[in-house]
Chains A and B, each alone.
Chain A
Amino acid sequence: MNAPDETTQPVASVEQVSVRYGTQLALHDVAADFATGAVGLLGPNGAGKSTLLKVLLGFVTPTSGRMHVLGLDVAERPLEIRARLGYMPESDGHIPDMNAVSFVAYCGQLAGLPESDAMQRAHEVLYYVGLGEARYRNIETYSTGMKQRIKLAQALVHDPDLLLLDEPTNGMDPKGREEMLELVIDLATRKGVNLILSSHLLPDVEATCARVVVMHQGTVATQGSIAELKERRRQVFEIRIKGAHDKFVQALQGIGADCHDAEDDLLRVFVNDDQGPRDLFAVATAHDIQVRHLRPSVPTLEDVFAEAVGEE
């Protein structure tokens, strides 16, 4: 899977948007630009990703700030925006007692397509998302993965210019997940559909998006091209040690290094440009710590994410 090329023309932008649910501040002064192509909306659960999508849809009225989608003001022209926008919600959503093709055609009609066109498009998009053979089955008999696909189909039926995908791979098996991500890439690269993919899964975003907006606790922690965000990081090394882990981390921080825990007892250590393995060995020797493994690595989206949300 190849991530699409980036461009910088925004299809959606939010300016100092704040949203409050009762006493809970869900979004606080959020400012972000979503460029054309595929943009990832990344963040841990509860970061405000879904709320931001709902603000763009006009479901939630912000307490302050302005939003533009496809060049239109969300507060002033929500219906025109929604006519050109497809939304795949996180939770299961369908009309009861309907088969897939009727449901998708109905959604097409709701979006303004004539009845015959909506039915034709319903067949097409159901084949496209891989439900062609199951299109006459009642949706309530679908598996979780199939329900994800039908949600994508209803979002696509009216041929939107912008797709909002909220956790599109939730509950899917590895094969289904890969197929869903391929569809997302295909839409963004070959079909000319702009999309915002909200996910807490870094690999999903990295596989499909060229740009990312990272959210944390209702604010934008960082945003930009994934490649550029990675380049901003310093040199990185993977180290596995034997001995006092905390003492070693503390010592590394003392020389200006930044340490993040990774899997298999590995430490990912970010050092300044004038530092290198020699300095790491020196710290280990000084604290009587045995280095079992050390190799240079490359910055990942996970590193960007960890730094943005302040995880150690």
Chain B
Amino acid sequence: MPIHDQSYRRYGGNREAPGAAWLVIARFGIKAALSKRLCLWVMLGAWSQFFVRSVIFYLSANFPSMDVLAPSVQTFRQFFEIQWIFVFFVTVYVGSGLIANDRRSNAIQIYLSKPLTRVEYVTGKLGVLVFFLLGVTLLPALALLLVQVMFSASLSFVAENLFLLPAITLYALVQVLLAAFSILALSSLSNSARYAGILYAGVVLFSNAVFRIVQGFTSTTGLAWLSFQANQDQIGDVIFRLPTRFESPWFMSALMIFVVIGLSAWVLERRVRGVEVMT
């Protein structure tokens, strides 16, 4: 008897209605990334600041002589500034291959031949990045706020800075969405994860270099909106109700962030297709 007569049978079980495939993609991507040791180390490294600041919070709450270390709004703002480097590494490490690898191995047409839309595919990939990026931004920042309440045994700091919770959430989302959309768009432009990662690093570093050169010539920071990173810093200051660090209007930075996300969405719409048409 041929081997194929022994095994194949029709399927009579349940099927999920279309619409949940993005969760399958996200779950698979998260599992795949977590199975790599380097990813775990990067994530662990990203939480080191949380642990250091937790110790500082403990000392300031329990030893009056260390009152100078007591947390402020500035503390949380600085927390995000330092986390930026981990956002960068996680974005490049997790995100650069998310679509590029599928392009290299012609997997996109396999995905899209299943009952899922292009939006679901991109949402699934975004889900992977959002999971890890929130894990190095929003989650440790909220945990830090919780730790502050626990160590001080008082809600007075939170009550005095009620805007802090939405500010942390909003700024984390700005950082995460900007990074996630940008790297996915760059990943969709190439068949090489390495190339997409280099391209992302190039965009971030080059835009900042251009801004700094212009600043050197003009002795003004009015063109800070040219820099990928400066835009986030400027918006971060506004969200945390701190004086802005650059002379350029904050709404220019907000506009640039919207433009980059919009442009990335447009690139994804053009590049994630079952058929690549060369005209």
Given contacts A112-B17, A132-B3, A182-B4, contact A95 B275 (CB under 8 A): no
The distance from the CB of A195 to the nearest CB of chain B, in whole angstroms, is 14
**Chain B residues with CB under 8 A of A79:** 18, 115-117
Question: Is A183 interfacial (CB-CB < 8 Å)?
Answer: yes
Which residues in window 12-30 of A have CB below 8 A to B?
21-24
The distance from the CB of A115 to the nearest CB of chain B, in whole angstroms, is 9
Whether the Cβ atoms of A94 and B110 lie closer than 8 Å is yes
A156 to B113, CA, bound (A): 12
A125 to B7, CA, bound (A): 7
Whether the Cβ atoms of A117 and B11 lie closer than 8 Å is yes
Given contacts A106-B24, A110-B111, contact A183 B4 (CB under 8 A): yes
| Binary interface encoding of chain B residues 217-231 relative to chain A, with 1 for a CB under 8 A from any of its CBs, else 0 | 000000000000000
Whether the Cβ atoms of B113 and A186 lie closer than 8 Å is no
Whether the Cβ atoms of A114 and B14 lie closer than 8 Å is yes
In this complex, the member of A22, A80, A87, A154 whose beta carbon has the largest number of chain B beta carbons within 10 angstroms is A87
A59 to B4, CA, bound (A): 31
**Chain B residues with CB under 8 A of A187:** 8
**Chain B residues with CB under 8 A of A186:** 2, 4-5, 8
Q: How many A-B residue pairs have CB under 8 A?
A: 138
**Chain A residues with CB under 8 A of B116:** 79, 82, 110
The distance from the CB of A7 to the nearest CB of chain B, in whole angstroms, is 18
Main secondary structure of the interface of A (DSSP, over half): mixed
Q: Which residue of B lies closest to A57 (CB)?
A: B113
Whether the Cβ atoms of B10 and A112 lie closer than 8 Å is no
The residue from B110, B274, B279 contacting A54, defined by CB atoms under 8 A apart: B274
**Chain A residues with CB under 8 A of B270:** none
The distance from the CB of A17 to the nearest CB of chain B, in whole angstroms, is 15
Whether the Cβ atoms of B105 and A96 lie closer than 8 Å is yes
Given contacts A117-B14, A159-B11, contact A95 B4 (CB under 8 A): no
The distance from the CB of A131 to the nearest CB of chain B, in whole angstroms, is 10
**Chain B residues with CB under 8 A of A83:** 15, 18, 114-115
Whether the Cβ atoms of B115 and A60 lie closer than 8 Å is no
**Chain B residues with CB under 8 A of A97:** 32
Whether the Cβ atoms of A112 and B11 lie closer than 8 Å is no
The residue from A57, A86, A113, A129 contacting B4, defined by CB atoms under 8 A apart: A129
Whether the Cβ atoms of A127 and B11 lie closer than 8 Å is no
A87 to B7, CA, bound (A): 20
A132 to B8, CA, bound (A): 12
Whether the Cβ atoms of B114 and A59 lie closer than 8 Å is no
Which residues in window 108-167 of A have CB below 8 A to B?
109-114, 117, 121, 124-125, 127-130, 132, 154-156, 158-159
Given contacts A106-B28, A192-B10, contact A111 B115 (CB under 8 A): yes
The distance from the CB of A153 to the nearest CB of chain B, in whole angstroms, is 10
| Binary interface encoding of chain A residues 263-279 relative to chain B, with 1 for a CB under 8 A from any of its CBs, else 0 | 00000000000000000
The residue from B13, B110, B117, B277 contacting A117, defined by CB atoms under 8 A apart: B13
**Chain A residues with CB under 8 A of B112:** 57, 59
The distance from the CB of B116 to the nearest CB of chain A, in whole angstroms, is 6
Question: Is A246 interfacial (CB-CB < 8 Å)?
Answer: no
Question: Is A250 interfacial (CB-CB < 8 Å)?
Answer: no
The residue from A91, A114, A191 contacting B10, defined by CB atoms under 8 A apart: A191
Question: Is B107 interfacial (CB-CB < 8 Å)?
Answer: yes
**Chain A residues with CB under 8 A of B114:** 82-83, 107, 110-111, 158
Whether the Cβ atoms of B279 and A21 lie closer than 8 Å is yes
A182 to B5, CA, bound (A): 11
Whether the Cβ atoms of A82 and B113 lie closer than 8 Å is yes
Question: Is B106 interfacial (CB-CB < 8 Å)?
Answer: yes
A92 to B32, CA, bound (A): 22
A110 to B22, CA, bound (A): 8
A117 to B15, CA, bound (A): 10
Whether the Cβ atoms of A23 and B279 lie closer than 8 Å is yes
Q: Which residue of A lies closest to B27 (CB)?
A: A109
Question: Is A93 interfacial (CB-CB < 8 Å)?
Answer: yes
A87 to B111, CA, bound (A): 10
Given contacts A80-B18, A89-B110, contact A113 B11 (CB under 8 A): yes
Whether the Cβ atoms of B15 and A125 lie closer than 8 Å is no
**Chain A residues with CB under 8 A of B101:** 96
| Binary interface encoding of chain B residues 25-52 relative to chain A, with 1 for a CB under 8 A from any of its CBs, else 0 | 1001000100000000000000000000
A-B contact pairs, 9 of them (CB 8 A): A24-B279, A79-B117, A111-B114, A124-B8, A130-B4, A155-B113, A158-B15, A183-B4, A186-B8
For the complex of A and B, 3 pairs with smallest distance between CB atoms: A22-B279, A59-B274, A159-B11
Which A residues fall within an 8 A CB radius of B? 21-24, 54, 57-60, 79-80, 82-83, 85-87, 89, 91-97, 106-107, 109-114, 117, 121, 124-125, 127-130, 132, 154-156, 158-159, 182-183, 186-187, 190-192
Q: A82-B113, A83-B114, A124-B9 are in contact. List 19 more A-B contacts (CB 8 A).
A: A21-B277, A22-B277, A24-B279, A58-B274, A59-B112, A60-B275, A83-B115, A87-B110, A89-B110, A92-B105, A95-B110, A96-B105, A106-B24, A109-B24, A112-B17, A113-B16, A124-B7, A125-B8, A129-B4
